[in-house]
């Protein structure tokens, strides 16, 4: 990464510009412009792999990326947990065995390759920048460099937003919280924990398994549990 | 100057190296002070930095005697380092014997410590002065212009190193806050679910219960939520608050 290229990427994101599009979304758009990928998404992840997609280059990519947190697996969750992941062909057995449910879902949405880059700063991880391409194929060395630099820019952007939160160390900034939108799933998990007398980690797995076996979105299941229309037995 | 140049280049490389991984600001300043004494043929050197309240603190000294003198200077609020830090400009005193009226307490103390001359250079980047770099001579002299430039370059390196370390620490704080907030929000939503199910509350009432319980016990909301989710506090104790909350709508 030359200083010139970094300056170009910062220009692409438009870090100094006052425009209506929020910075996290501009980072995603810059990924698409700078590299060969079809789309990009920015996800925030907590310890234990809970999280949500807070920005994406378009609605389809957003939905693909956010489903990671339904399945508990995917490029962003892997990048958060273990570092950069490059699955240049989702049709390979390696991708399928790494993320069986996510891969099936992503392929059905037309995705051929997925790449995850951790949002890392001062040794602390807060999420991932996920790149998707409709066609299979590796990123070039230059594209990798750009993606890593954009992940750094994304990290600075989200930590900067959070630093302006009224209670920065306790509650997520409203601009970040808005995109997460999984509150109802966490609430339902807490209810399942009491209903079945299990730990929170077990409750997450049971909820996912129920949604999976009934082939219904986890949000619907969660909404039914919270509205007390459904109890897991 | 010619015999010194290779060593000088090495010093800058050495200092630049300490700026990367595992940067320890105290170690960095000690290296800087030691090289400064060696390269500039000064008798002793010291470095003071301003703390969060703008008060100077002695951070590194080449000898214990120098450290004591610098502490004396701070205690008596008088001397070259303080003047240099306040004005942001270098201070030269080529002869401490003639400085009695300028520094009635510091000058005799410095002479008693064996020094005859003193210089101070500001640690500054653009308009911000973050401290001062002090050079002590056992003879009445000041650095020749070339040596002064080297000293100023060392002071600039120190400033950049210190400011960079502060930036890294700040980044650590803000990133840590985001991480904590992310972890907290999941725990808070889950704890709302636990309480809602246990005490047959809606989610808003469950949140209010958590909030009041945390406030009453002067706990952090996120800590209470985590304890509820991990089962380390009795949920019924938390839920009792709900009854009171409902009986006192103004609470």
pLDDT value of position B16:
59
Indicate if B163 and B213 belong to the same structural domain: no
What integer is the mean pLDDT of A141-158? 92
Write down the H helix ranges in A14-87.
Answer: 23-34, 59-66, 68-71, 75-82
Instruction: Output the pLDDT for position B244.
Output: 56
Residues belonging to chain A: 233
Q: Does the CB of B214 have a partner CB in chain A at under 8 Å?
A: no
Of B181, B194, B203, the CB nearest to A169: B181
Shortest Cα distance, chain B CAs vs residue A137, angstroms: 33
- Mode of pairing for the β-strands spanning B44-50 and B56-61: antiparallel
Contact A159 B178 (CB under 8 A): yes
How many other CB atoms sit within 10 Å of the CB of residue A35? 21
Region of residue B200 (left: phi > 0; alpha: psi -120 to 50; beta: else)? left
Cβ contact, residue pair B193, A188, below 8 Å: yes
A160 touches chain B (CB under 8 A): yes
Asked if the Cβ–Cβ distance from A46 to B183 is below 8 Å, we say yes
Domains of chain A, by residue range, sit at 3-175, 183-226
Q: Which residues contact residue B184 at a Cβ distance below 8 angstroms, ignoring those fewer than 6 apart? A: A170, A171, A172, B221, B222, B225, B226
Domain hosting B16: range is 5-171
pLDDT tops 90 at residue A180: no
What tens digit of pLDDT does each residue of B131-178 get?
999 999 999 999 998 888 888 888 888 888 788 777 777 777 888 889
Instruction: Read off the CATH number of the domain in which B106 is found.
Output: 3.30.450.40
Among A220-229, B58-67, B235-244, the least confident range: B235-244
Asked whether the beta carbons of B105 and B126 are under 8 A apart, the reply is no
The residue that leads in pLDDT, B19 or A42, is A42
A3-175 topology per CATH: Beta-Lactamase (3.30.450)
Only one residue has tokens 């957003």, namely A62
Q: Please tell us whether the domain made up of A183-226 is placed in CATH 1.10.10.
A: yes
- The pLDDT of A136-149, averaged and rounded, is 95
- Shortest CB distance from A194 goes to which of B179, B185, B198? B198
How high is the mean pLDDT of chain A? 91
Nearest 5°: the CA angle A49, A178, A182 is 40
Lowest-pLDDT choice from A208-222, B9-23, B56-70: B9-23
CATH number at residue B220: 1.10.10
- The answer to whether residues B153 and B112 belong to one domain is yes
pLDDT digits (tens, 9 = 90+) for B67-98: 999 999 999 999 999 999 999 999 999 999 99
Cα→Cα distances B75→A176, B93, B121, B123, Å: 49, 20, 20, 21
Total number of domains constituting chain B? 2
Check residue A183 and give its pLDDT. 87
- When scoring A76, A153, A190, A206 by the number of chain B Cβ atoms within 10 A, the one with the most, hence best to mutate, is A190
**Do B210 and B241 lie in a common domain?**
yes
DSSP A190-233: HHHHHHHT--HHHHHHHHHHHHHHTT--HHHHHHHHHTTS----
**What's the mean pLDDT in B15-37?**
72
Cβ atoms of B192 and B203 within 8 Å: the answer is: yes
pLDDT band at B15 (very low <50, low <70, confident <90, very high): low
Residues B83 and B144 reside in one and the same domain:
yes
Confidence of residue A121 (pLDDT cuts 50, 70, 90): confident
Lowest-confidence pick of A106-110, A182-186, A226-230, B66-70: A182-186
Considering only alpha carbons, which residue of chain B is nearest residue A80? B179
Domain boundary among B140, B171, B202: B171
Which residue among B171, B206, B227 closes a domain? Answer: B171
CB contact under 8 A, B197 and A191: yes
Residues B158 and B234 in one domain: no
């Amino acid at each position: 990464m030359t200083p010139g290229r970094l300056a170009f990427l910062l220009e692409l994101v438009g870090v100094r510009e006052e425009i209506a599009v929020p910075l996290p979304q501009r980072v995603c758009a810059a990924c698409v412009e700078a590299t060969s990928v079809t789309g990009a998404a920015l996800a925030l992840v907590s310890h234990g792999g809970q999280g949500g997609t807070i920005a994406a280059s378009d609605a389809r990519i957003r939905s693909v990326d956010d489903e990671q947190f339904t399945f508990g697996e995917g490029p962003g969750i892997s990048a958060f947990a273990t570092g950069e992941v490059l699955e240049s062909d989702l049709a390979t057995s390696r991708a399928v065995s790494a993320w069986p449910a996510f891969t099936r879902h992503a392929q059905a949405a037309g995705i051929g390759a997925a790449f995850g880059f951790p949002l890392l700063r001062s040794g602390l991880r807060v999420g991932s920048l996920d790149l998707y391409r409709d066609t299979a194929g590796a990123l070039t060395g230059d594209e990798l460099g750009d993606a890593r630099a954009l992940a750094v820019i994304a990290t600075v952007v989200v930590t900067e937003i959070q630093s302006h939160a009224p209670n920065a160390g306790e509650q997520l900034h409203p601009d970040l919280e808005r995109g997460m939108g999984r509150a109802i799933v966490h609430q339902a998990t807490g209810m399942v924990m009491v209903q079945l007398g299990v730990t929170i980690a077990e409750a997450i797995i049971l909820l996912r398994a129920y949604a999976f076996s009934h082939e219904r979105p986890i949000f619907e299941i969660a909404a039914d549990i919270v509205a007390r229309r459904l109890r897991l037995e | 100057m010619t015999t010194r140049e290779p060593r000088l280049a090495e010093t800058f490389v050495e200092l630049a190296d300490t700026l990367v991984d595992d940067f320890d600001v105290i170690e960095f300043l000690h290296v800087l002070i030691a090289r400064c004494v060696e390269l500039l043929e000064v008798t002793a050197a010291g470095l003071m930095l301003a703390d969060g309240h703008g008060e100077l603190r002695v951070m590194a000294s080449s000898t214990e005697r120098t450290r004591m003198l610098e502490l004396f200077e701070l205690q008596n609020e008088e001397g070259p380092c303080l003047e240099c830090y306040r004005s942001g400009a270098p201070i030269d005193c080529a002869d401490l014997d003639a400085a009695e009226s300028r520094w009635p307490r510091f000058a005799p103390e410095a002479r008693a410590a064996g020094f005859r001359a003193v210089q101070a250079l500001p640690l500054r980047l653009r308009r911000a002065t973050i401290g001062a770099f002090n050079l002590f001579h056992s003879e009445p002299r000041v650095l020749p212009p070339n040596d002064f430039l080297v000293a100023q370059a060392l002071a600039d390196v120190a400033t950049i190193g210190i400011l960079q370390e502060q930036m890294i620490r700040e980044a650590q704080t803000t990133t840590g806050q985001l991480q904590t907030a992310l972890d907290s929000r999941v725990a808070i939503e889950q704890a709302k679910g636990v309480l809602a199910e246990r005490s047959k509350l809606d989610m808003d009432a469950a949140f209010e219960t958590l909030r009041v319980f945390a406030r009453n016990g002067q706990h952090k909301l996120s800590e209470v939520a985590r304890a509820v989710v991990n089962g380390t506090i009795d949920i019924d104790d938390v839920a009792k608050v709900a009854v009171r909350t409902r009986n006192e709508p103004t609470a």
